[in-house]
Amino acid sequence: MRDPIGSERAAASEALSLEIEKANYFATAARENWISFVSFALFLIFWELICRFEIVGPYQLVPPSEVVTLFIDKFSNANPDGALLYQHAAASLGLALAGFLAAVVIGVPLGLFMGWYPAVNMTARPLFDAIRPIPPIAWIPIAILWLGIGTPAKAFIIFLAAFVPCVINSYTGIRLTNPVLIRVARIYGASNWETFVKIGIPSAIPMIFTGMKLSLNAAWTTLVAAELLAASMGLGYLIQLGRRLARPDIIIVGMLTIGFLGALMSWLLTRIEARFASSRRLT
Partner 1 sequence: MILSKRGASLIAPAASIGVFILLWGIISLNVSAEFLPSPLAVVKEALRLLHANIGGTSLWGHIGWSLRRVLIAFFLAILLGLPLGLYMGWNRVCEKIVSPIFEVLRPIPPIAWIPIAILWLGVAEGSKIFICFVGAFVIMILNAYTGMRYVDPLLIDAAKSFGANRTQQFFNVAVPACMPSIFAGVQNALSMAWMCVLAAEMVGARQGVGFIIIQGMDLNKPAMILVGMVLIGIIGSLLAATLRQAEKLLCPWRRELV
Residues that bind partner 1 (CB under 8 A): 21, 28-29, 32-33, 35-37, 39-40, 43, 59-61, 119, 122-127, 130, 133-135, 137-142, 144-146, 220-221, 224-225, 228-229, 235-236, 239-240, 242-243, 246, 248, 251-252, 254-256, 258-260, 262-263, 266
217 phi and psi angles, rounded to 5 deg: -60, -50
Residue 125: C-alpha distances to residues 100, 158, 167 (Å):
21, 21, 10
Burial class (CB in 10 A: 0-12, 13-18, 19+), 225: middle
Name the residue nearer to partner 1 (CB basis): 130 or 187. Answer: 130
User: Least distance (Å) from partner 1 to the CB of residue 185?
Assistant: 24
Name the residue nearer to partner 1 (CB basis): 39 or 279. Answer: 39
Name the residue nearer to partner 1 (CB basis): 12 or 184. Answer: 12
User: Least distance (Å) from partner 1 to the CB of residue 262?
Assistant: 5
Name the residue nearer to partner 1 (CB basis): 1 or 30. Answer: 30
User: Least distance (Å) from partner 1 to the CB of residue 140?
Assistant: 7
User: Least distance (Å) from partner 1 to the CB of residue 100?
Assistant: 14
Name the residue nearer to partner 1 (CB basis): 96 or 185. Answer: 96
Measured in residues, the chain has a length of 283
Distance CA 100, CA 110 (A): 15
End-to-end CA distance of the chain: 23
User: Least distance (Å) from partner 1 to the CB of residue 6?
Assistant: 19
Distance CA 252, CA 259 (A): 10
Distance CA 269, CA 101 (A): 13
